[in-house]
Amino acid sequence: MLDSFAARPSKTTVPLLPLRTSEFKAWLKKQSKSTAAWIKSNGFKAKHGEICLVPSRDGRVSTALFGRGDGTSIFSWSALPSRLPKGRYTLIGAVDEALAEEATLGWGLGTYEFTRYRASTRTFATLVWPEACDRAKVERTLTSIGLGRDLINTPAEDMNPTALTQVVRDLAKEFSGECKVIAGKKLLTENYPTVHAVGRAATFPPALADLRWGDPNHPKLTLVGKGVCFDSGGLDLKNPAGMKLMKKDMGGAATAISVARLVMAAELPVRLRLLIPAVENAVAGDAMRPLDVITTRKGLTVEVGNTDAEGRLILCDALAEADTESPDLIMDFATLTGAARVALGSELPALFSSHDDVADALLAAGIAVGDPLWRLPLHDAYRRHLDSRVADLSNIANTSYGGAITAALFLREFVSHRKNRWIHIDTMAWHLAGRPGRPAGGEVMAARACAEMLERRYRPSADTDA
């Protein structure tokens, strides 16, 4: 994505002028008669997404006009790299830092391609970095989002538990952090029994990656990501349609990794911990069985009501470990329930939180950067649906209703939610249909929102809310 930018204009660089619909008529009156006639003949009115190429006397493009509409969205810029003629463009007009960031983020996201197995055949226009742009921020955002998308898009054969934990090792090395990986039967000796139980039937051993970074004296921030590299459903086997996209079931881990990278690249003053339980929910003779009972890391016993509700099992051990340090904030990310998709659709992650202050802050950050979430309730009365006759709780509710809520309530059992701030994000992590800047495939939904919220929380400035 960074290849679609240039450091400076060339002799043939084309000026690119963004215009709002409400400003267009006044601007048009100031243009020459011939220019105004050309623009009118092309039907350009600066509506959202419109483009008009204004020619010079020699027939070349003298200026490219871009309609912004009257809203603000980074994705309104995402179609430009492929729609504009190949060449170099530079923004003109009143370009402040906010507009520069919006334009460059949208432009970069519009050029993302997953090219691990097939070389790109597309060509894109190039944008000169605007002077007002916080280039470091845009570069770390694009790189982190690109990393997360690539992880989700990679098939499970190449993005197995061993490969996923190696990504965390590499991230620790890149930012001079520390990483410990516990794998296979060592999970039992280190007391991560549910991570082991879910992943023990697979060829690639289950593992837990534990990254630490930052000054130990800074506020503790712990991120947890569901890393189910492929979910067959286990012995409660999915049907072919339900299994087809299950390489994306580590989308929570990919999102947590992306957010962690954004935190470290921004050098936020936090003591970061990233916990990624990585497994494949496979079928074999030693796979966990329906109605097995597992004693979790916290000591609570869980009856396996359904082996396809495995994500919450691996998360519960990681959350229990995160909770022991009483961090300032715990955030977990998971492709956890179809119920959240039924409630909110595929593009809007569900947010659950034990504390209104961090929930409100994250919602506000999501709106500010165009990466929205929607809060659902932790309705205490539904906790009864997780009751088991033989264990402390079941991993599946005894009702088909409110599945996203009961899953969140299950996870809440493993954090001291009345004391420690906790956020749970239930995400699709996948675009079913492509749009500019959001191609079909893997997506780290809410990563930009989380980065913005964490920036405001841990490095507040005069113009942001602490």
CB atoms within 10 A of CB 103: 25
What distance in Å separates the CA atoms of residue 158 and residue 210, rounded to the nearest whole number? 21
Q: Which among 95, 105, 96, 79 has a CA at the least distance from the CA of 5? A: 105
Answer whether 16's CB lies under 8 Å from 90's CB. Answer: yes
Answer whether 428's CB lies under 8 Å from 445's CB. Answer: yes
What distance in Å separates the CA atoms of residue 307 and residue 290, rounded to the nearest whole number? 6
Exposure letters 40-66 (e unless 16+ CB within 10 A, then b): eeeebebeebbebbbeeeeeebebbbb
Cα of 33 vs its chain's centroid, Å:
48
Tokens 């899953």 locate to 407
Strand-pair partners of 16 = 64, 91
Tokens of 365: 């950050």
Provide CB contacts within 8 A for 267, sequence distance 6+: none
Q: Which among 72, 67, 76, 60 has a CA at the least distance from the CA of 27? A: 67
Strands (DSSP E) contained in 21-95 are 51-55, 61-69, 88-91
CB atoms within 10 A of CB 218: 14
What distance in Å separates the CA atoms of residue 324 and residue 27, rounded to the nearest whole number? 60
Q: Strand, coil or helix: what is 404? A: helix
Strands (DSSP E) contained in 321-457 are 329-334, 350-353, 374-375, 393-394, 422-426, 430-431, 441-442
What distance in Å separates the CA atoms of residue 303 and residue 296, rounded to the nearest whole number? 10
Q: In this structure, what are the phi and psi dihedrals at residue 228, rounded to the nearest 5 degrees?
A: -85, 100
Tokens of 121: 């055949």
What distance in Å separates the CA atoms of residue 373 and residue 351, rounded to the nearest whole number? 6
Longest alpha-carbon distance in the chain: 83
Active site residues: 238, 312
Tokens of 155: 């098939």
